[in-house]
Amino acid sequence: MNDIESQLRRVPPTLHPDPKRVLLRPFMPSLIVRAMGSVESNPRVVHLFSRLMQMTDEAVEEKLKDVFSEFDERHQRIHDIFKERYHQIESLLPIENSLSESRALLLGAYFTNEYSFESSALFNPSIIAAPDQGGVPDGELRFILSLRATGEGHVSSITFRSGTVASDGHIQMDEVSRFVHLPRPMAAVRYDKKTFQRKLQEINVEYADAIACTRDLKESFSFGELSDLVMRMGTTAEEPSVRRAAERALLLAQANYTVSFPEGLSMSEKVLFPFAPTESNGIEDARFVKFIEDDGTTNYYATYTAYDGNVVFPQLLQTRDFHEFHIATLNGPVVKNKGMALFPKKINGRYAMLGRQDGENMTLMYSDHLHFWYESRVIIRPSQPWQFVQIGNCGSPIETPAGWLVLTHGVGPMRKYSLGAALLDLNNPAKVLGRLKKPLLRPMPDEREGYVPNVLYSCGSLIHGKNLILPYAISDTSTRFAVVPVETLIKAILVG
């Protein structure tokens, strides 16, 4: 154990995945977990509907009573969810007359299933100070912890926990609710035509096709207007490449959306589950940061990776209150790969972000626009055997008087992950002031076993008092905490 590693303390608790925490998801007769609200034509839908219609009214009432008896205490608003689900699949049914409420609810139940969203893993944490610090005792800090939760089919979502940390690093987690809620989509935003055309080209749509597939749109348009246009193009004699471009345009629009949660929920009751088609296979590794705007106001941003099973889509999430969330695509030629982390404020009047475009070196990006990134340069390369495979950030840089503190991850032999640290100049982050030669944190024997062995990882830490509070994932399965004195860590970085 090296000197800095000996100064780090692992502290309780350990957060484990809990298969008892389930949410209600749309179910279609297949083995695929679909994105929220997804509706598809399927002959089994009609077959199931026909069987239900052959039931007597008494049998329907009895079966519905059984369903509510078995599942009502496991979920809130289950009656409303069954009704919503029925209306989602209603257009697929051969209905001449309206159904009774009981038949509609029972049919909604047949097309709903419980999904244990964190049954497999609860990992890759990010921690920030909570917006509301009211009522917190002196010396303590209330925090919000985001985590990547993984369930059936290896579909990832963002879930939350909350708690307090004392000045000595003692962590107290808030009680975790039995119930979870999905957010509701909000009214559609409008899109700028020129910006939209530019983004289409960045996702490899030819210039001529990008112009052609959007030519009939207004300079500012809604999702509904785009959807109507794409539907019309599917029935006209447009060139196949233009029709494909229109379909890509629809996917792009769906990747920019806003959702909100009902009032009065605790943080542990909120789950951001894949919503857009680009997220259908998961939302991965959110890196949250408290961002101070030019006017002094606060926004909370998170970069994350959307995955549709084939393509990685870097996304940006924004919220002011953890009640309403705005999701948008990150754009530009340097928006590639995973692991982007935004600095908590502008530097010399420009946004700044860390990344790893080539998969192995840490890069620094600047931009005048939060959603468009064109500049990138390598600032840190693997230099020690424990990081020869790759080096990347473990969350947004933290401002200290000595410089920007960046927690890093390195990959060595046998794909073993270890955490390190570096210090960047406050005014010129391209200037590396120092970095640890030896790991800050390596897997202990009891941290090596799990879904992905020998991996330690974090998506964000924070400073409270004299300590760095570092939540980290072990073997892509569960989450622990570590505490290290900030001054000691910075001295070790500068010594090298």
Residues 321 and 335 in one domain: yes
Q: Name the pLDDT band for 33 (thresholds 50, 70, 90).
A: very low
- For residue 62, is pLDDT > 70? yes
pLDDT of the residue at 307: 86
Quickly count: other Cβ atoms within 10 Å of residue 267's Cβ: 20
Q: Name the pLDDT band for 465 (thresholds 50, 70, 90).
A: very high
Cis peptide before 137 (omega within 30 of 0): no
- 136-150, 229-243, 393-407: segment of lowest average pLDDT: 229-243
Which of the listed residues 223, 254, 285 is the one where a domain comes to its end? 254
Residues 53 and 127 in one domain: no
Q: Could you report the per-residue pLDDT of 393-439, keeping only the tens digit for each?
A: 999 999 999 999 999 999 999 999 999 999 999 999 999 999 999 99
- For residue 234, is pLDDT > 80? no
Percent of the chain with pLDDT over 90: 75
* Structure-model confidence comparison of residues 1 and 367, the more confident one: 367
Residues 284 and 339 in one domain: yes
Residue 84, C-beta contacts closer than 8 angstroms, at least 6 positions apart: 108
Which of the listed residues 254, 277, 298 is the one where a domain comes to its end? 254
> Can you tell me the mean pLDDT for 237-249?
85
Residues 174 and 217 in one domain: no
d(CA 391, CA 354): 12
pLDDT of the residue at 1: 66
Q: Name the pLDDT band for 274 (thresholds 50, 70, 90).
A: very high
- 59-63, 157-161, 244-248, 448-452: segment of lowest average pLDDT: 244-248
450 DSSP assignment? S
Q: Could you report the per-residue pLDDT of 41-56, keeping only the tens digit for each?
A: 568 888 899 999 999 9
Residues 442 and 454 in one domain: yes
Residues 399 and 431 in one domain: yes
What pTM does this model have?
0.91
What's the domain range around 70?
Answer: 23-115
* Structure-model confidence comparison of residues 237 and 242, the more confident one: 242
Buried b (16+ CB within 10 A) or exposed e, 24-57: bbbbbeeeebbbbeeeeeeeebeebbeebeeeee
* Structure-model confidence comparison of residues 36 and 353, the more confident one: 353
pLDDT of the residue at 496: 76
Using alpha carbons, select from 439, 355, 364 the residue that is nearest to residue 392: 355
Q: Which residues pair with 192 in a beta bridge?
A: 220
Q: Give the Å distances, CA to CA, from 486 to 157, 248, 405, 423.
A: 31, 47, 9, 12
Residues 47 and 124 in one domain: no
Q: What is the largest CA-CA distance in the chain?
A: 79
Number of H-type helices and E-type strands within the chain: 10, 29
Say if residues 202 and 331 touch (Cβ distance below 8 Å).
yes
Give the domain CATH number at 329.
2.115.10.20
Residues 216 and 352 in one domain: no
- 168-182, 192-206, 262-276, 446-460: segment of lowest average pLDDT: 192-206
Question: Which residue type does 471 have?
Answer: P
d(CA 486, CA 244): 53
Which of the listed residues 95, 115, 135 is the one where a domain comes to its end? 115
Q: Give the Å distances, CA to CA, from 343 to 92, 396, 417.
A: 47, 6, 24
Residues 306 and 355 in one domain: yes
Residues 161 and 82 in one domain: no
Length of the chain: 496
Q: Could you report the per-residue pLDDT of 303-345, keeping only the tens digit for each?
A: 999 988 887 889 999 999 999 999 998 988 898 878 999 999 9
pLDDT of the residue at 322: 97
- 251-255, 262-266, 378-382: segment of lowest average pLDDT: 251-255
Residues 220 and 328 in one domain: no
> Can you tell me the mean pLDDT for 14-37?
77
Query: For all residues of the chain together, what is the average pLDDT?
Result: 92
Q: Give the Å distances, CA to CA, from 36 to 91, 180, 281, 282, 380.
A: 17, 15, 12, 12, 40
Domain count, the chain: 3
Residues 383 and 439 in one domain: yes
pLDDT of the residue at 31: 41
d(CA 422, CA 494): 9
